[in-house]
Structure 1
Amino acid sequence: MSTQSEAVAAPPQLTKKPSKVERRNLRALSWGHALEWYDWAIFGLLSVYLGATFFPSDNPVASTLNALAVFAVGFVARPLGGAVFGFVADRFGRRKIMIFAIGAVALGSFIIGVLPGYETIGIAAPIIVVAARLLQGLSAGVEAPLGTAYALELVPGRPGYVAGFFAFFNNLGNLLAPLSIFCISALLGPEALAAYGWRIPFIIGGALGLIVLWLRRTLPETLNTEAIHTIGAVPTKKNSVWRDVRKYWLSVLATIFIVGAIQAYNYTWIAGLPNLANGLYGEDPTAVFAITTGMGIFLTLGAWVLSRVLDRFPMSRWFVIARVAAIPTIFLALLYSQPGIGTLAGVMFGGAVVLLLNMTIFVVVANSLLPQHIRGTGLGLGYGIGVALFGGTASYLLLWLQNQGLMWVFPTYIAVLCAISVVLYILAKRRNGLFVGE
């Protein structure tokens, strides 16, 4: 049954500039997002060194692929974390779940940073790394989707501002990851980076988690537990969360592809291509991290600019334009088929503009397809599955296909995902309506 009549009245009117308290709450949430993206980016960027430390092999490509497989394992836990903790957030409130999530992400980062290598503790090393990634996956499965839903509830009248604000901090996390590695590589040198310097960013991530926990201590609860089972004026039963998630199955399916397609694109740029340069082509790591840092600066400043302009037009219009533009630009990856630091820089920055717009809006767009009372569960499930199926496997698939001489398959695959995401979004919008951003 269509819920269009319910959805029409749901999106709030645009409001004036967010208040000081609203901005403070957004910062508490978004710094957690920055830490999550920082943590996941450093694991991807440092996979070459993680592989050599925890998954020894005579073949550097094989050890890197082993580490990237663990990178993907962390994504496997995200749908479970999103579904379980998202459900708890929809039934009992947002605040405690958001505090737990950031604590688990920080703990996993710290464990990896101080864990002895394979030569010291043997098979226990890769087992503990996998366990730490699973812990981070469970928490990250709810941190990203629920954090944005929480923010939209804190500042309901400015979806574009929330999208840009969060994207600024997400990109800041992505920027701090290569920047920290670049600084360590420049100060210590490539040999020290490979020996022990790679541990420093993980330990920093654990320490930053304590700061974010302190910031989140004063967050208000946005979900009224007396009325969390009401959509507009329509009362629902207390056990209706999963029932209504099934009712909005098309919106959840659309979310899987909205998230998965652009995350596959994103991880190609922030992890796949840099690892291709470092692991297979033997490029200078300092130069590679300088390029990724420069792209991070562009994405971070660009998100700040977009936060000022996105509310001028419906979010649905921004999404269709951005996602269609991603289809041809993903083929830029084919240009980097052999070593060449200049080519890598051109490819990275060539795809950055389209990546910026897509990564700024995709979570808010996914939120728009679901009503508040099931947003934690439905978005957590869809987001987690999308990232696990498509985002977490992108870096591994890129390196594997390049090694097999089938590089052309990879951008074709992501282009198809982008096209599917547009079609499913339009179908879900027509069937269920929108709840945010129109």
Structure 2
Amino acid sequence: MKTSSRLWGIFSGSIGNLIEYYDWFVYVGLEIYFSKEFFPSGDATVSLLRTAAVFAIGFLVRPIGGWVLGIYADKHGRRAALLLSVSMMCFGSLMIGLTPGYQTIGIAAPVILLVARILQGLSIGGEGGSAAAYLSETAPKGSRGFYSSFLYTTISLGQLLAMGTLVLMQQFFLTAEQLQSWGWRIPFLIGALISVVGILLRRNMQETESFEKHAKKAKKVSAIREALRHKKACWMVFGLTLGGSVGNYAFAAYMQKFLVNSAGMAKGTASLISVLSLIGFTVLQPVYGALSDRIGRKPLLLTFGILGTFGTVPLFTFLKGTQSPYVAFVVVMAALATVAMYSSVSTITKAELFPVEVRTFGLAVPYAISVSVFSGTVEYIALWTRKEGHENWFFWYVSACICASLITYLLMPETKKTSLIDRD
């Protein structure tokens, strides 16, 4: 593949991923505004619990998306699967942005919300494996960690764009009453619009040489049978994802609500802290990715596992009692700098475990199962433990999940040295 085609492919795949995750995370940032629109209740926490349950259901269908789109990508190409996933995300955002509230159409409102999130869950479930396979196969051998890190860079940029949109509306354009009433719809409609850009970009992507070389063989291979031949690698993907994704959602996605509900900060202040810390988190992705090309993936994963296992409970406990937004920012940034050691190398580590004919399926399904079972319920568990008066249980839960991944990191090989991408 020519350098220009490689760079265009990495750009198009990354931007499309950014757009998808903007659409996905907009829901998280705006729940505090639209929860009562779909689930009226006299208790704000109860309304949030219900919208969080819908969010969790969106996660639970991600393995199905990974399964279906993973097989599709391994049979028909990464480009075709990436184009399909961004189209599904576009339609889901449009549905949420245009659906009337419960007071207007009754039970149909939360039903449509649920259908839209299921559609987006299927989309994001297929996106992860397809994008990871595409970036890892497109990147040059000596820089795979650096280029593959842009997958999580664009994930965090998508989250940052979602949070930034909310902050701009909060600070400059709309009052709290307007946001609560109708303003929350705007980011979803923006997401549907920019998804069209993602569709156009991906239509002009070039398929990877690795897939084209093995395309005829891939169409004859049973994805399930081939994945079973690599079941150890599938378990590794599940294990290394578990703690990293839980940590990511706890410190990035849920942190805004934690600072509001538990630390007692204003919504605008909490959103600003989340945005600024996400900027630092985003910048660190390619830095750590490039470092992994020199020292390997495993040292970074081990460092994250150790710091996350022993530092999570003290960090959350400290944050709960702090009143200073400046101190809170420093602590949150330290947490995300640790999580970035996982996120920056997770894409390439998983891709290096599988051969080309099952790479997308092998990546997507165990990853999506791990994320849906554990990450998708992070917010719900956090809100439930708070409601029950035992919020510290959530802190220990996050720590335990990271500890489980630490065991995986200790047992797995250094994939930089054993990469199956080199055998394509």
TM over 0.5: yes
The answer as to whether partners of 1:323 and 1:422 remain within 8 angstroms in 2 is yes
More helix by share: 2
**AA of the residue aligned to 1:389:** V
Alignment equivalent of 2:255, drawn from 265, 273, 290: 273
| Structure 1 residue 314: Cα displacement | 1.5
Task: Provide Cα deviations, 1:318-338, integer angstroms capped at 9, x if missing partner.
Answer: 222233222223221122335
Residue in 2 aligned with 1:10? none
Question: Percent same amino acid at aligned positions?
Answer: 28
The separation in 2 between residues aligned to 1:37 and 1:26, in whole angstroms, is 16
Matched, 1:418 2:402: yes
**2: CA distance between counterparts of 1:366 and 1:191?**
45
Match of 1:284 in 2: 266
Q: Any residues of structure 2 matched to 1:259-270 within 5 Å, and which?
A: 259-270=241-252
Q: TM-score, normalised by structure 1?
A: 0.88
**Residue 328 of structure 1 aligns with which residue?**
310
| Unpaired stretches in structure 2, ≥5 consecutive residues | none
Matches of 1:429 and 1:397 in 2, distance apart? 33
Deviation at 1:279, TM superposition (A): 4.8
Q: Does 1:250 align with 2:232?
A: yes
Question: Alignment length, in residue pairs?
Answer: 417
CA positional deviation for 1:78? 0.5
Equivalent residue number for residue 168 of structure 1: 153
Give 2:4's aligned amino acid.
K
Change in Cα spacing, 1:108 to 1:356, as seen in structure 2 (3 Å) is same
Distance 2:205 2:389 in 1: 51
- CA 1:430–1:200 in structure 2 vs 1: closer, same or farther (change >3 Å)? closer
Separation in 1 of the partners of 2:344 and 2:219?
Answer: 35
Find the aligned partners of 1:266 and 1:282 in 2 and give their Cα distance. Answer: 22
Secondary structure, in 3 states, of the residue corresponding to 1:116? coil
Question: Structure 2 CA distance, aligned partners of 1:205 and 1:399?
Answer: 27
The C-alpha deviation readout for 1:110-151, integer Å capped at 9, x for no partner, is: 211121111111100000000000001111111122101111
What letter matches 2:181 in structure 1?
A
TM-score by length of 2: 0.91
2:165 equivalent to 1:183: no
1:20 partnered with 2:4: yes
* Separation in 1, partners of 2:295, 2:95: 44
Shift of 1:423: 2.5
Say if 2:192 is the partner of 1:206: yes
Is the alpha carbon distance of 1:194 and 1:341 closer, same or farther for their aligned partners in structure 2, counting shifts above 3 Å?
farther
Determine which of 361, 372, 380 is the counterpart of 2:356. 372
- Partner Cα distance (1:159, 1:296) in 2: 23
Measured after TM superposition, the shift of residue 346 of structure 1 is 4.3
Q: Which runs of 5+ in 1 are unaligned?
A: 1-14, 231-235
* Gap change, CA 1:436 and 1:326, over 3 Å in 2: farther
Cα deviation code 1:370-422 (max 9, x no counterpart): 22211111111111101101111001111211222222222322222222223
Distance 1:419 1:229 in 2: 42
- Counterpart of 2:170, as a letter, is S
Q: Distance in 2 between matches of 1:302 and 1:264?
A: 19
Q: 1:197 aligns with which of 172, 175, 183?
A: 183
**Cα deviations across residues 174-205 of structure 1 (Å, max 9, x unaligned)?**
21111110000112122222111111111111
Cα distance between partner residues in 1 of 2:165 and 2:297: 34
> Contact 1:35 / 1:209 at 8 angstroms: preserved in 2?
yes
Determine if contact 1:117/1:125 at 8 Å carries over to the other structure.
yes
Q: CA deviation at 1:437?
A: 9.2
Structure 2 CA distance for partners of 1:425 and 1:280, relative to 1, 3 Å:
closer
